[in-house]
Amino acid sequence: MVARPTVLLCDFDGTVTAIDTGVLVLEKFARGDWRALDELYDRGGATVEEVLTRQFAMVGAKKWEILTAVEGKAPLRRGFARLVRFCDQEGIPLTIVSYGLDFCIGSVLGKAGLRGKVEVVSPLARFAKGGIVLDYPKRTISGSVNMKDDIVLQHKKSGHKVVFVGDGTSDFPAAREADECFVVRGSRLEEMCRAEGVRSLSILSFGPVEDALRESCREDDTHLHPRPGHPTS
């Protein structure tokens, strides 16, 4: 049996970073009860896209103000930079799949020397009068729940083995569909996977993710494969 080429998908806020930059921005700049929308989402009363659209419409700050507030507040989780280098050396595509602000993600990666070394799929933020407007990537798989599981399913449809790493509620559909799943220890995603019987490994650093990929490479001499384009391209 020919092994499937592996792709690695990682959430950003709270997974790649130690904090959620979106929450930081809302706490500092949102005008209105943005937490009530989180509660609405938790009750199943709105989709993640609907909630984020309404929350970031409350943010009237300028881009430079937001980047200044985030700078130095979002350190990378231990082992991520090394994981990026490993994936590049081994030809394993690594994509950040995030509902975070694209310019914040780019800034954090840039400060770490990783801009351009990791593909990022996220909503595109536009500054409009009175707030931020988010344009979400289009979903292409029938029955997908959100952007994240849609991308997992696109890769699986293309014949890839998907490894997913996440921490939050919006990550659960992707975690459920992935071939292998790593969850941040103590996170909401860990609780959900445990409650729903989704197999996952809890982590505090990216070391175990790299170890698992390295072991997979040892077992599969075909792991050196061309880097595929992103399935939404």
What DSSP assignment string belongs to 105-129? HHHHHHHTT-TTTSEEE-PEEEEET
Alpha carbon of 109 to those of 58, 72, 115, 147, 191: distances in Å? 26, 12, 5, 21, 28
Among the listed residues 105, 108, 148, 152, the one whose alpha carbon sits nearest the alpha carbon of residue 124: 105
Identify which has the larger pLDDT, 28 or 229. Answer: 28
As beta bridge partners, residue 4 has none
Residue at 125: amino acid letter: A
Q: What is the pLDDT of residues 166-201, one digit of tens each?
A: 999 999 999 999 999 999 999 999 999 999 999 999
Tens digits of residue pLDDT in 63-114: 999 999 999 999 999 999 999 999 999 999 999 999 999 999 999 999 999 9
pTM (predicted TM-score): 0.91
| Helical ranges in 30-142 per DSSP H | 34-42, 48-56, 63-70, 80-90, 102-111
Write down all domains in the chain, each with its CATH number in brackets.
6-219 (3.40.50.1000)
